[in-house]
């Protein structure tokens, strides 16, 4: 195995120093992810060998306690990991983000002891998870679910269809939201854990996307898929709480992904403008270019402060809803803006796939859409400001 790969206990020791931890993840990403990024983007497929290395590094179990085989870190460490990986490839960043900030957090907070013993152990060592809320008519209106859960024996039979599910291709464990009583609105929603291979459950087509192409986005179909009552996450009719509280944390994870993307675009730009010669000197010597670079760097640093602050508030047990919404809005806008400026400063080279910044520009677009659109985040911010 490559020497850049270490073990989860070793990762835990590194996590004692956050800067060292972040740098170690970036070193891994630079050595193990960067050589694969372009090929994975072109073929729209995550490397299975890379996923194995992410497990070995503890990147897919950052907050899972060591007693379950995880790295035993904090939410802030998850954010640092997503940032560092996204600096090289945001597709890998979102794979790790969904696993840690959505799936594992939901299981740790809402799972029974039996669920934790079974699934945290799997998620720490070999199993990718997916978070399944969105449907064709349920995007920003997240709780307008049509997927039904009908009581059947000592369980529930799920019937319906989910769309735009991240990690759908790689996952073996799915947190699925369905309603047991449509007339009850959000109070009828329940969260279920469904294993791949359960009769009546099928992973459908994988979407052909503009960006984050190596990250699979799939439809899921349920046709009388019977899930035992012991697989309910939380309580019957309380799935909305599982969804809301987990998504608030997930938005910080997307902020970290967009932060890493913007930092990656800035890194490429600094290197390129020093090397590119025009009129007998490096274009980095021109004041106009320097001013554009300064704005990019300022935007990235402001994003980092917003993301880090939100993560630290969450770890401290303090309110973070407004800050999470702010960091997602701002980070997604900065990622697109910085990646766009990177292409401008690369000139014609920025527009071709031989250079890395066009991919980052494509990857940035999703940041304003998934895990709560920009308009939904602005509504949250405004409501909280107005009390």
- Three-state SS for the chain is CCCCCCCHHHHHHHCCCHHHHHHHHHHHHHHHHHHHHHHHHHHCCCCHHHHHHHHHHCCCCCCCCHHHCCCCCCHHHHHHHHHHHHCCCHHHHHHHHHHHHHHHHHHHHHCCHHHHHHHHHHHHHCCCEEEECCECCECCCCCCCCCEEEEECCEEEEEEEEEEEECCCCCCEEEEEEECCHHHHHHHEEEEEEECCCCCEEEEEECCCCCCCCCCEEEEEEEEEEEEHHHEECCCCCHHHHHHHHHHHHHHHHHHHHHHHHHHHHHHHHHHHHHCEECCEEHHHCHHHHHHHHHHHHHHHHHHHHHHHHHHHHHCCCCCHHHHHHHHHHHHHHHHHHHHHHHHHHHHHHHCCCCCHHHHHHHHHHHHCCCCCHHHHHHHHHHHHHC
371 is catalytic: yes
Among candidate residues 32, 323, 333, 371, the one labeled active-site is 371
List residues with catalytic annotation: 371
């Amino acid at each position: 195995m490559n020497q850049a790969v270490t073990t989860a206990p070793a990762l835990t020791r590194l996590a004692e120093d956050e800067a060292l931890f972040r740098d170690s993840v970036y070193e891994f990403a630079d050595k193990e992810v960067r050589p694969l990024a372009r090929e994975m983007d072109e073929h729209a497929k995550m490397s299975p060998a890379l996923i194995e290395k992410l497990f070995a590094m503890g990147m897919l179990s950052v907050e899972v306690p060591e007693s379950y085989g995880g790295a035993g870190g904090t939410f802030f460490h998850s954010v640092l990991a997503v940032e560092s990986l996204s600096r090289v490839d945001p597709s890998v960043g979102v794979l790790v983000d969904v696993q840690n900030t959505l799936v594992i957090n939901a299981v740790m907070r809402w799972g029974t002891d039996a669920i934790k013993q079974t699934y945290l152990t799997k998620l720490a060592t070999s199993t990718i998870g997916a978070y399944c809320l969105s449907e064709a008519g349920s995007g920003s209106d997240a709780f307008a679910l049509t997927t039904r859960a009908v009581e059947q024996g000592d369980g529930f039979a799920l019937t319906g269809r989910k769309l735009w599910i991240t990690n759908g291709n790689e996952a073996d464990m799915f947190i699925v939201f369905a309603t047991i009583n449509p007339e009850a609105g959000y109070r009828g929603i329940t969260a279920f854990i469904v294993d791949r291979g359960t009769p009546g459950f099928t992973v459908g087509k994988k979407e052909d996307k503009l960006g984050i192409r190596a990250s699979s986005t799939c439809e899921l179909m349920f046709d009388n898929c019977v899930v035992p009552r012991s697989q309910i996450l939380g309580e019957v009719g309380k799935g909305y709480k599982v969804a809301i509280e987990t998504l608030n944390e997930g938005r910080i994870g997307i902020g970290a992904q967009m932060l890493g993307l913007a930092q990656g675009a800035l890194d490429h730009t600094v290197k390129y403008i020093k090397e590119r010669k025009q009129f007998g000197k490096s274009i980095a010597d021109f004041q106009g270019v320097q001013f554009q670079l300064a704005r990019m760097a300022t935007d990235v640093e402001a994003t980092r402060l917003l993301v880090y602050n939100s993560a630290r508030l969450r770890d401290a047990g303090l309110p973070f809803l407004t800050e999470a919404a702010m960091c997602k809005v701002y980070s997604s806008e900065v990622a697109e803006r910085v990646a766009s400026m990177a292409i401008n400063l690369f000139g014609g080279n920025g527009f071709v796939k031989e250079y890395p910044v066009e991919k980052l520009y494509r990857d940035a677009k999703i940041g304003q859409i998934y895990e709560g659109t920009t308009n939904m985040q602005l509504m949250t911010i405004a409501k909280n400001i107005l009390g």
